[in-house]
Amino acid sequence: MDYRILQLVYEHRFLNTELLWHLLKSEAEGEQSEYKLGRDGKKRPAQYGFGMKALYKHLLRLSEAKYLQRQQLIDLPIGGSHGVPRAAYGLGIKSAPVIAERTGTAVQYIKNIIDANRVKSLFLRHALDIARFRATLELACNDSGGKLRLIFWEQGQGLRDYAVGQNESGGTERFPVNPDAFFGIQVRDKGNASYFLEMDRGTMPVISKKDRPDIRKKVFGYMHYRKSGKYREKYYYGFLPNGQPSGLYINRPDDENTAIEQNEFLQPIKGFSVVLVVPGKLHKTKFVSGRIENVLSSFPFFGKGFASTSLFWLTTPEAYDIENPESILGNIWITPNPEKPMQSLIE
């Protein structure tokens, strides 16, 4: 139990009590045995079960023992739910040798992650939003009865890239491509789909009058990234001998391209979509309001082709719910193209 908690936190970087509880609960229910996780984190006969309050107390003990690092979310109101919205858990210093031994990574690498996790509350909120999206998607795939599989999920500096292209004024500009995550889904009898994730918290202007990051630069970056085909030189699906995708291979600058080209089990990804989670209201009739409306209405001003693009899919955080993981697979994604119906990640 303790190692599984550390492993989940390591994989997601930050988790709160609620997300951990849902992930552990799903695993316990999926075990073919008459046992579940008990109040102290150990397996007990199924009739005992375990609750969020018991998990919260266990996380506190792991934090006090420095296996986890508990960080307060000071910009959230205090109250109820056993501290669920008030704290995020990252790896603690004592977890470094444990994770390193189990995963085969260097202890110093884990320590670097722990050092990088000392961030401000605003970043923690952003990181938890990403973790919530990932956890909901993982649970939805796990509950699909084999219909869906999350092939890969990547985060971090390795995704950072750029694209050069024309801006709305006709000049040449270098645009950043810095997604929050990159993931791939395999749908049985349909194939694979790849998505870049952008988690917007409303802190970045849609169009900035100054030379600072904005939504406009993100949109231009992805448009030129796809048009140039640069992503095909960086991202490759790995395949098993039976033809099943096994994960993602990222071509680093110091890699030998000839070795990649000669590897029959690596194939460049064929395309991608960009999913943006934006604050606001989304209705079944494609009517939107709030910030998501502001973002969608800005596309026609970016230039020709932007108003009809289907590269970008937008939804709101309230459109999916970890209590109902299948909601993230529904037709909850709207595109700037008014002729396109609501989209689903698995269609």
Decide which of 134 and 257 is more confident.
134
Question: Would you call 12 helix, strand, or coil by DSSP?
Answer: helix
What is the per-residue pLDDT across 6-61, written as a single tens digit (0 to 9) for each? 999 999 999 999 999 999 888 766 554 455 566 666 665 444 346 788 889 999 99
Question: Average of pLDDT values for 87-108?
Answer: 94
The Cα-based distances of 341 to 153, 282, 284, 347 in angstroms read: 27, 14, 10, 12
Q: What is the mean pLDDT of residues 120-134?
A: 92
pLDDT at 28: 66
Over residues 245-258, mean pLDDT: 77
- Higher-confidence position of 262 and 162: 162
Q: Give percent of the chain above pLDDT 90.
A: 67
CA 76 to chain centre: 22
- Quick one: pLDDT at residue 264? 76
Complete DSSP assignment for 189-239: TTEEEEEEEEE--S-S-SS-SSSS--HHHHHHHHHHHHHHTTHHHHEEEEE
Confidence grade of residue 259 (pLDDT, cut at 50, 70, 90):
low
Q: Which pLDDT does position 29 carry in this prediction?
A: 65
The pLDDT, as a whole number, for residue 285 is: 67
Collapsed DSSP state (helix, strand, coil) of residue 238: strand
Res 81: pLDDT: 44
**Amino acid sitting at position 172:** T
pLDDT of residue 75: 53
| CA proximity to 70, closest of 102, 80, 82, 79 | 82
- The pLDDT mean for the chain works out to 88
Identify whether the C-beta of residue 232 lies closer than 8 Å to the C-beta of residue 324.
Answer: no
Domains of the chain, earliest start first: 2-118 (1.10.10), 124-329 (no CATH)
- Residue 181: pLDDT over 70: yes
Average of pLDDT values for 91-113?
94
- CA 134, CA 145: separation in Å to the nearest integer? 18
Q: Which alpha helices (H) appear in 106-185, and where do they start and end?
A: 107-116, 121-142
Which residues sit opposite 345 in a β-bridge?
Answer: none
Mean pLDDT, residues 151-177: 94
Other C-beta atoms lying within 10 Å of the C-beta of residue 52 = 17
- Which one is predicted more confidently, 343 or 74? 343
Average pLDDT estimate for 142-149: 94
Q: Residue 165 burial by CB count (10 A; 0-12/13-18/19+): exposed, middle or buried?
A: middle
Q: How confident is the model over 270-300, as pLDDT tens digits?
A: 999 999 999 999 887 678 899 999 999 999 9
What are 48's two structure tokens? 């005992």
